[in-house]
Amino acid sequence: MKVVVILALTLAVVSAKTPMIKLNTGYEMPEIGLGTWQAKGDPVKQAVKDALEVGYRHIDTAYIYENEKEVGEGIHAQIGAGVLKREDLFITTKVWPNGSNQKKALEMIHHSLKQLNVTYLDLVLIHFPRDDYADTYKGMEDAFHQKLVRSIGISNFNRGHIDHLLKTAKVKPAVNQIRIHPTHNDADTVKYCQELGIAVTGYSPLGTGKMIKNPTLVAIGKKHNKSAAQVALRWQIENHWITIPKSVNKKYIKEDFEIFDFTLTKEEIKTIHDMKA
């Protein structure tokens, strides 16, 4: 009984710590998730387990990452251990567009469902605006209408790509996942997505490691007793973007999650926004 109470209290704390973004589909998406790009096999399985233990409730993967099976195994290990329930978790994956079409997109989604061993996905994105991506998107819409997917969206799309897609799309994208970090804020795309009611996820939020020793971020971090990485991630949270840092090191997975106990000043946010490469 005591163990159950402790677990319930832990889950309540996790829920309270993780802010959510409400998508245009009505579903809520945790504002921080674990990225899994370039992570495979046992390391990614363990990283997912560690992240869920730490408190993450959002895992980001993709068909092309070739790690959905291991990601699924990590998820189900923690579900089996009572750490969380499937409905507590937000799973994002992506359809690879090269050579794809409406039929193939739906087939890829079925493949992802099987690999992840789940009955539905929270979010599926078209990975890049390649080939006839409008036709590929139709397959994602099919999955949405079949309730295999709760929300669908896009990744690496700019203003022009979005406009082209919206000419034929029946379901507005819920999310656009783009590269964002302090020296690459992609302000024009972000602004356009916000105008359209499309949430923004920033991938590579640490600039594939370049931000962790950035002197501006280090200096701001010292004022808050935080690392440069935590400052870079907090900057995205302050802007109401979703962020998906990637690591297979439990220490850094935990550190990346510890960004909800401080806030940046308006001046610090502007300083970070204005940083140059």
CATH of the domain at 20: 3.20.20.100
Return d(Cα 121, Cα 117) in angstroms, integer. 10
pLDDT tens-place string over residues 70-126: 999 999 999 999 999 999 999 999 999 999 999 999 999 999 999 999 999 999 999
According to DSSP, the residues that pair with 8 across neighbouring strands are: none
Question: What's the pTM value of the predicted model, to 2 decimals?
Answer: 0.93
Total tally of structural domains belonging to the chain? 1
Element (H, E) at 186: none
120 is catalytic: no
Is the separation of the CB atoms in 246 and 40 below 8 Å? Answer: no
pLDDT tens-place string over residues 223-242: 999 999 999 999 999 999 99
Catalytic residue among 56, 63, 65, 252: 65
H helices present in 127-249, as ranges: 133-145, 159-166, 187-196, 215-224, 228-238
58 is in an annotated binding site: no
Predicted local confidence at residue 276, as pLDDT: 86
Residues of the domain holding 149: 2-273
